[in-house]
């Protein structure tokens, strides 16, 4: 793949789109096909050789056939060696493409993480503002109750901030836990940065 190609994030799709991988696989397949053809030829000659009676009259013919079978054996060994090399070529290209995909996935994960962190900051800032309103509302409620106590009256209480915002206790507790988790993670990162 060259620098202007769009890299698919699916490693299998990236391999399928990579011309170097396709070429390596083509060469590997050609060696497999050559090996099969040589083995078939060797098997056919061996079968023919077995069918020829061992006599003085057939000795020369049998020697030539054994030589051909032996020569094909060398070709088979050489082809098996080339096939192993082609398989390693395929693995090398696969490693390069998969590593490149991994880098692109990491870049996207970094971008997504940064976006989520920004949204978390916004969400937690809004939650902090709600908590501030909650504290002020409780203070106001306490002042109203103190005045009612002195005056001997009872003023109807407005809805609590938690009730008015509609988040409910479960979401409120989850946001508080989320704030704590984000804080702990940022402290952990800060400690790692200073090592």
Mean pLDDT computed over every residue of the chain: 92
- With contact defined as beta carbons under 8 Å apart, do 78 and 9 qualify? no
With a cut of 90, say whether residue 140 has pLDDT above it.
Answer: yes
State the pLDDT confidence band at 8, using cuts at 50, 70 and 90: confident
Task: Read off the pLDDT of residues 78-102 as tens digits, 9 standing for 90 and up.
Answer: 999 999 999 999 999 999 999 999 9
With a cut of 70, say whether residue 153 has pLDDT above it.
Answer: yes
Task: Read off the pLDDT of residues 27-54 as tens digits, 9 standing for 90 and up.
Answer: 999 999 999 999 999 999 999 999 999 8
CA angle 63, 46, 40 (to 5 degrees): 130
Packing angle of the helix pair 168-193, 59-151 (nearest 10 deg): 120
Residue 12: name the closest of 93, 91, 98 by CA.
98
Residue 126: name the closest of 89, 82, 171 by CA.
171
Instruction: Identify which has the larger pLDDT, 5 or 12.
Output: 12
The pTM assigned to this predicted structure is: 0.63
State the pLDDT confidence band at 11, using cuts at 50, 70 and 90: confident
The percentage of the chain sitting over the pLDDT mark of 70, rounded to a whole number, equals 96
Q: Which residue has the tokens 């509302």?
A: 137
Chain-centroid distance of CA 34 in Å reads 36
Dump the DSSP string for 41-92: HHHHHHHHHHHS---TTTHHHHHHHHHHHHHHHHHHHHHHHHHHHHHHHHHH
- With contact defined as beta carbons under 8 Å apart, do 58 and 41 qualify? no
Q: Where are the domains of the chain?
A: 11-112
Task: Read off the pLDDT of residues 48-76 as tens digits, 9 standing for 90 and up.
Answer: 999 999 899 999 999 999 999 999 999 99
At residue 74, the pLDDT reads 96
């Amino acid at each position: 793949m060259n620098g202007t190609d769009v890299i698919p994030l699916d490693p299998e799709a990236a391999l399928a789109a990579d011309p170097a991988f396709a070429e390596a696989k083509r060469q590997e397949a050609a060696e497999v096909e050559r090996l099969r053809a040589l083995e078939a030829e060797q098997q056919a000659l061996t079968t023919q050789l077995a069918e020829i009676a061992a006599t003085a009259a057939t000795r020369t013919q049998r020697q030539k056939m054994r030589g051909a079978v032996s020569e094909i054996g060398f070709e088979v060994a050489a082809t098996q060696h080339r096939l192993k090399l082609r398989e390693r070529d395929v693995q090398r290209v696969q490693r390069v493409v998969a590593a490149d995909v991994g880098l692109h996935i990491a870049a996207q994960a970094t971008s997504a993480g940064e976006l989520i962190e920004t949204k978390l900051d916004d969400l937690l800032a809004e939650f902090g503002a709600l908590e501030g309103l909650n504290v002020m509302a409780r203070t106001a409620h306490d002042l109203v109750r103190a005045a009612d106590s002195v005056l001997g009256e009872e003023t109807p209480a407005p809805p609590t901030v938690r009730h008015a915002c509609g988040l409910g206790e479960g979401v409120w507790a989850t946001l508080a836990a989320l704030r704590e988790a984000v804080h702990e993670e940022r402290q952990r990162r800060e400690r790692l940065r200073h090592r």
